[in-house]
């Protein structure tokens, strides 16, 4: 058991509240139960919890209102998991975009609760520990790549932030975009379609052994790490161990992009829980790539960008609304250099 062990359960249905409490007590957590969002809000204003497990439909204040309150007012942010019988894709997406770190459908699955809570709390533990920067020997790519690469990492609060970023990237930005957004397969499939519809970019889930096309956006699919082969530049998918307690993870993508593209890459860390991407950024930095980090004060969940700021020294810290334009500005000289030298 990590040092994180205080869990607040917000559930108005007595049977589910009792079941959740029994599960969590058996796992060794200290558990407090309230039966509506307003009581939870008042408790969070005067006490500290490491995780909040909340139902959606409740009297006085529902789960969505509670999540938004937590993200805007409670620092440091606890892990927030929505547990609800509302299981439509639109409901799940709305919960995640409102700031939930994860989403579990009722009826409650004991093993799922245990895994999701444990992995989430371990991601919080990563951020609370002192960040240690590891020295790497990654250098510039030995050959000129066929195109510039933009690699983006996002987690909690990522979908609306990514939509804002891509809406502000100039359409003539000559790069290939690789995106790791933490989340289950169903969410990533749906989000790829939404990103395609709302930004004008050609967006698709990444496929194994496929060569990227200039201007396209490739989203890592659910439960698979995405990396780039440094020789062929094809996309590679694998089901290797979780990194930073997530799969897909940004660190494998950042490491591979640094090796394949050297200084012709731009790495971006956006809102999220945990510190995924931070160690990968050290490879980007050593390869002389460009690093853009979302200003944590503009992030729905600030821990991922804050961990990135604490890990590397050469970066641009930018508010979410300006990141798209910053990406375009970073890519233009890289793309021009590739064109001139090929």
313 noted as active-site residue: no
39 noted as active-site residue: no
- Identify which of 81, 7, 16 has the alpha carbon closest to the alpha carbon of residue 44: 7
Using the CB atoms, write b or e for 167-189: b if 16+ within 10 Å: ebbeeebbbbbbbbbbbeeebbe
Which H or E run contains 14?
helix 14-26
Order across the sheet with 6-10: list the strands: 30-34, 6-10, 51-54, 79-84, 102-105
276 noted as active-site residue: yes
- Active-site entry in 50, 98, 182, 227: 182
Q: Per the structure block, which two tokens stand in for 20?
A: 């959740």
116, burial (CB in 10 Å: exposed 0-12, middle 13-18, buried 19+): buried
21, burial (CB in 10 Å: exposed 0-12, middle 13-18, buried 19+): middle
* Rounded-to-integer distance, Cα 107 and Cα 84, Å: 8
Q: Per the structure block, which two tokens stand in for 296?
A: 């944590």
SS3 state at 124 = helix
* Rounded-to-integer distance, Cα 250 and Cα 153, Å: 6
* Rounded-to-integer distance, Cα 198 and Cα 201, Å: 8
- Active-site entry in 39, 276, 283, 328: 276
Residue linked to tokens 């945990």:
274
Is the peptide bond preceding residue 248 cis, with omega within 30 degrees of 0? yes
Q: Per the structure block, which two tokens stand in for 284?
A: 């980007």
HSE-CB for 67 with a 13 A CA cutoff: 28
* Rounded-to-integer distance, Cα 220 and Cα 226, Å: 6
- Active-site entry in 50, 62, 101, 155: 155
Catalytic residue IDs: 155, 182, 276
């Amino acid at each position: 058991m990590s040092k994180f062990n205080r869990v607040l359960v917000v559930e108005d249905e007595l049977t589910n509240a009792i079941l959740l409490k029994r599960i969590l007590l058996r796992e060794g957590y200290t558990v407090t139960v309230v039966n509506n969002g307003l009581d939870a809000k008042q408790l969070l204003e005067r006490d500290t919890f490491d995780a909040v497990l909340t139902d959606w439909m409740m009297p006085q204040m529902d789960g969505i209102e509670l999540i938004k309150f937590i993200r805007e007012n409670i620092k440091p942010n606890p892990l927030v998991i929505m547990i609800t019988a509302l299981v439509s894709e639109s409901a799940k997406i709305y919960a995640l975009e409102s700031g939930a770190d994860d989403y579990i459908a009722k009826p409650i699955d004991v093993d799922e609760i245990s895994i999701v809570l444990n992995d989430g709390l371990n991601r919080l533990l990563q951020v609370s520990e002192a960040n240690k920067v590891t020295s790497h020997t990654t250098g510039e790519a030995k050959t000129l790549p066929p195109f510039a690469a933009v690699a983006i990492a996002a987690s909690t609060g990522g979908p609306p932030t990514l939509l804002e970023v891509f809406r502000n990237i100039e359409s003539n930005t000559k790069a290939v975009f690789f995106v790791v957004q933490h989340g289950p397969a169903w969410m990533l499939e749906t989000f790829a379609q939404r990103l395609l519809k709302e930004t004008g970019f050609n967006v698709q889930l990444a496929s194994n052994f496929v060569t990227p096309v200039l201007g396209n956006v490739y989203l890592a699919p659910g439960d698979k790490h995405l990396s780039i082969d440094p020789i062929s530049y094809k996309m590679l998918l694998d089901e290797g161990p979780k990194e930073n307690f997530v799969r897909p993870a940004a660190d494998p993508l950042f490491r591979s992009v640094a090796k394949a593209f050297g200084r012709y890459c731009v790495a971006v860390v956006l809102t999220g829980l945990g510190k995924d991407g931070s160690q990968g950024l050290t490879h980007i930095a050593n390869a002389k790539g460009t690093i853009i980090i979302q200003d944590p004060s503009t992030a729905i969940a600030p821990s991922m960008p804050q961990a990135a700021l604490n890990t590397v020294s050469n970066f641009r810290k930018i508010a979410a609304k300006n990141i798209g334009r910053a990406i375009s500005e970073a890519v233009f000289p890289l793309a021009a250099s590739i064109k001139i030298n090929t």
